[in-house]
């Protein structure tokens, strides 16, 4: 009982400290959010002409992916509902999970999402640090996990969040690109893949924060 109580206090303290750190730097992160410009991607479908070049892309419905040499792609499917929730692209040493969410049309929910992710990570015994990344504010998380042999380990990840008209795109990078976050060569392929994503949000009503499902690409085209 005492150990549980101590751990609860430590988690609560870590959460408060993380929130306090974010609050202290709130103006800085808000400025970075506002200064980030999507003119180099990711794009909304209304901002591009996919027929203007001969590039072969993967059409996942709400998202269009531009493959890169050596790229692997795996769909994450909710078997109970038979829905594609996200996809993972890899370049051998690193991987990136991409998911699309509904967002507000005329405002941003990035700060709220970052706060929720920070709270979840600290409650799980992890840590979060904010940095200025290639797509605005970047979250770097260290979280306890179990490896394939059941041993405890720490997983490092980098999270990119980008808002567009009625949507929010999330990319979570793991592997070498997260372990060596300052090595531009390690992340460049995934960074370019994320930047080249095109969102086809559609007009369906959806609450901000709700997942926008994808479709299986037709590889015969």
Same domain for 91 and 30, yes or no, is: no
Q: Are residues 55 and 104 in the same domain?
A: yes
Domain co-membership, 1 together with 73? no
Q: Looking at the domain assignment, is residue 19 inside a domain?
A: yes
Look up the pTM and report it: 0.85
Q: Does residue 137 form part of some domain?
A: yes
Which residues touch 51 (CB under 8 Å, ≥6 apart)? none
Single out the residue of 195, 199, 211, 207 nearest to residue 68, CA to CA.
195
Q: Are 72 and 193 in contact (CB under 8 A)?
A: no
Q: Around Cβ 71, how many Cβ atoms within 10 Å?
A: 16
pLDDT by residue, tens only, the chain of 221 residues: 444 444 444 445 555 555 555 555 788 999 999 999 999 999 999 999 999 988 999 999 999 999 999 999 999 998 777 789 999 999 999 999 999 999 998 788 999 999 999 999 999 999 999 999 999 999 999 999 887 788 888 899 999 999 999 999 999 999 999 999 989 999 999 999 999 999 999 888 899 999 999 998 876 55
Number of domains observed in the structure of the chain: 2
For residue 27, what pLDDT is reported? 87
Cα–Cα dist 196/175, whole Å: 21
Residues 138, 89, single domain; the answer is yes
* Cα distance between residue 77 and residue 69, in whole Å: 24
CA–CA gap between residue 192 and residue 188 (Å, rounded): 6
Q: Single out the residue of 12, 6, 50, 29 nearest to residue 198, CA to CA.
A: 50
Same domain membership, residue 68 and residue 6: no
Examine the domain organization and report whether 77 and 150 are in the same domain. Answer: yes
Query: What is the C-alpha to C-alpha distance for residues 98 and 135, in angstroms, rounded to an integer?
Result: 14
Cβ partners under 8 Å of residue 87, min gap 6:
60, 63, 65, 73, 74, 75, 76, 97, 98, 214
The whole-number pLDDT of residue 12 equals 53
Domain that holds residue 77: 43-211
200 plus 175 within the same structural domain: yes
Contacts of residue 95, Cβ cutoff 8 Å, sequence gap at least 6? 88, 89, 173, 174, 175, 190
């Amino acid at each position: 009982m005492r150990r549980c109580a101590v751990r609860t206090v430590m988690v609560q303290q870590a959460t408060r400290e993380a929130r306090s750190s974010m609050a202290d730097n709130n103006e800085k992160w808000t400025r970075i959010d506002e200064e980030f410009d999507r003119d180099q991607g990711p794009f909304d479908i209304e901002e591009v002409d996919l027929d203007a070049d001969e590039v072969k892309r993967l059409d996942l419905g709400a998202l269009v992916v531009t493959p890169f040499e050596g790229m692997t792609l795996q769909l994450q499917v909710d078997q109970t509902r038979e829905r594609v929730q996200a996809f993972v692209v890899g370049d051998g040493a690193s991987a990136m999970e991409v998911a699309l969410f509904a967002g507000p049309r005329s405002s941003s929910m990035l700060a709220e999402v970052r706060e929720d992710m920070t709270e979840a990570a600290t409650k799980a015994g992890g840590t979060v640090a904010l940095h200025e990344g290639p797509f605005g504010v970047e979250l770097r998380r260290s979280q306890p996990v179990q490896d394939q042999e059941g041993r405890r380990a720490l997983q490092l990840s980098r999270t990119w969040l980008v808002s567009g008209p009625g949507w929010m795109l999330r990319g979570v990078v793991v592997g070498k690109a997260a372990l060596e976050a300052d090595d531009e060569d390690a992340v460049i392929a995934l960074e370019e893949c994320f930047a080249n994503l095109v969102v086809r949000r559609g007009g369906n009503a959806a609450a901000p924060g709700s997942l926008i499902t994808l479709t299986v690409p037709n590889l015969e085209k």
